[in-house]
Structure 1
Amino acid sequence: MTQPSEGPAATGVPTCYRHPDRETWIRCQRCDRPICPDCMRDAAVGFQCPSCVHQGNKGSRQNRAMYGGERSADPRLTSYVLIALNAVVWLAITATGGARSKLADLLALSPTGRCVSESLPGQYYPDIHASGLCEAGTSGDGLWQAGVADGAWWQLVTSTFTHVEIWHVAMNMFALFLFGPALEGILGRARFLAVYLVSGLAASVMVLWLSASDGSTVGASGALFGLLGALLVTANKARLNSQWLVQNLVLGVIVTVVGWQMISWQGHLGGFLGGAAAAAVIAYAPRKRRTTIQWGGLAVLTVVLVWLALVRIAQLG
């Protein structure tokens, strides 16, 4: 190291911006200001000045997730809360009658209202025969179950948290336990939850458009396919090995095809596309104003899904 000069620097020779009496030919790699040996700070390439190091520390990514979100202290927490919420709803449905539960009818996604049989759970009367059975004051076997087109708009969201059979909730929550923490670790808590909810809404909208209008759909699998789609998008963006994700997707498709008569392929497809779209908004947002673009893009995606639901509701009505 050179010793600092005692007098003023020679004319035309650069001097340290923090010590004007010290000559130097070294410049900060970030701001290009001249710095003396005492002000040099090691950087990945060359040296930086103390001011740039301080500024870099303020914007450090050590507490940021991969795509700008705040890193979760425990990436499992949100998934645990979602699992608990699904379990509570399942317990409430089980305690109020299981397949006969009116709570399940209230929360399940039904595109249009239908007249269900009170004595035979799972059975319903075609509209052409049900007009008298579900009218107020009649003594028939029919009970009217409202659908989205009748104003039960909440079903677009609540159906994602609704399960009747124990095997259904157990399988879905196991999948959430596997995929949820992995995605939250990548996106951060707020963005992970946004992807989950957007995926669930996209699944419901696809069911609304492509499923039988008098059917009923429950389950978190649409949102879970959304998490899988989001993981594939983020892994591809980061150029990570996604073989295990592809294997799980293939397995999910096989299960859906084999059980198509009792499994909502519409919900799975809608959730996958919704989750992939939401993740693409987050992962491919430019760094400049990234947070604003991410949340604005997610808001636009949500508005589009709501608009599609309203269009379909108008058709069904």
Structure 2
Amino acid sequence: MAGGTLTADPKLITKILLGLNVAVFVAVLATQQSGFDLVNRLDMIGLAVDPSRYQLVGVAHGEWYRLLTAVFLHQEIAHIGFNMLSLWWLGPPLEAALGRLRFTALYLLAGLGGSALTFLLSAQNQPSLGASGAIFGLLGATAVLMRRLRYDMKPVLILLALNLAFTFLWPNIAWQAHVGGLVVGAAVAFGMVHAPRERRTLVHVGTCALVLLAIVALVWVRTLQLVG
């Protein structure tokens, strides 16, 4: 437009992630109506027999994609509603502070961390939806960033305490995904916000690589336990 300028959307990745979560949720609802259970094809499960197909399923059976697909999976309106409100609240400030690429890496690694800890500690045939792991990762990252900027920590600490209390007191919640996402999100954010300026990119890449290697190691150990 004449006389105007184009500016990058500071919430672009947040919007994309929100759209992916909503799209998967709509697909889940649509397939439920058709009789095809998409949740059972995408959720995080270690190793079990699918009674509808009479075959083994799960991460330990080679379905590694479940570690990631579960990060975008919801089954109830209240679940996705709470998570998407949290994403919309926590995402934009982190995306602005870290940049799009680093924010995307943070979100995905936190989600994978939640899936990995669930895979490691849950019963092998216990399915779970790991979307909240990524959200808890954003919460952990927000706490690290606020600490680094010397902001008042009380609001985020109260929110964190409430969410952890909800995690452990409310039934049928995969606390492993929440804790795994929180720890990974905080660890990745710590490496990002405390990196020295002259080696910032190297430290950022190294932090993400080390966290990813730790996740892969957890998954490998649990897989050997289940099939070795």
Is the pair's TM-score, using the shorter chain for normalization, greater than 0.5? yes
Q: Distance in 1 between matches of 2:58 and 2:120?
A: 14
Distance 1:241 1:166, change over 3 A: same
Q: Deviations over 1:226-246 (max 9, x none)?
A: 001011111111211222211
Contact 1:89–1:162 at 8 Å: present in 2 too?
yes
Show the counterpart of 1:92. Answer: 27
Show the counterpart of 1:122. Answer: none
Q: Distance in 2 between matches of 1:239 and 1:257?
A: 29
Unaligned residue ranges in structure 1 (runs of 5+): 1-71, 119-133, 135-142
Q: Distance in 1 between matches of 2:35 and 2:165?
A: 30
Contact 1:111–1:149 at 8 Å: present in 2 too?
yes
Distance 1:231 1:99, change over 3 A: farther
Distance 1:99 1:195, change over 3 A: farther
Number of residue pairs matched by the alignment: 221
Q: Deviations over 1:258-294 (max 9, x none)?
A: 21x3111111000000000100111111122211221
Show the counterpart of 2:12. Answer: 77
Distance 1:295 1:169, change over 3 A: same
Q: Does 1:264 align with 2:199?
A: no
Distance 1:285 1:115, change over 3 A: same
Unaligned residue ranges in structure 2 (runs of 5+): 1-6
Q: Deviations over 1:3-52 (max 9, x none)?
A: xxxxxxxxxxxxxxxxxxxxxxxxxxxxxxxxxxxxxxxxxxxxxxxxxx
Show the counterpart of 2:44. Answer: 109
Show the counterpart of 2:77. Answer: 166
Contact 1:112–1:149 at 8 Å: present in 2 too?
yes
Contact 2:135–2:181 at 8 Å: present in 1 too?
yes
State percent identity of aligned pairs. 39
Q: Normalized per residue, which structure has more helix?
A: 2
Cα deviation, residue 98, structure 1: 6.4
User: Considering only CA atoms, is the larger Rg found in Structure 1 or Structure 2?
Assistant: 1
Q: Distance in 1 between matches of 2:121 and 2:87?
A: 25
Computed over aligned residues only, the root mean square deviation of the Cα atoms, in angstroms, reads: 1.8
Larger RCO (CA under 8 A, 6+ residues apart): 2
Distance 1:109 1:282, change over 3 A: same
**Which residue identity is paired with 2:83?**
N
Q: Distance in 2 between matches of 1:271 and 1:216?
A: 17
Q: TM-score, normalised by structure 1?
A: 0.66
Contact 1:94–1:101 at 8 Å: present in 2 too?
no
Show the counterpart of 2:136. Answer: 225
Distance 1:157 1:181, change over 3 A: same
Q: Distance in 1 between matches of 2:35 and 2:157?
A: 38
**Matching residue within 187, 199, 212 for 1:302:** 212
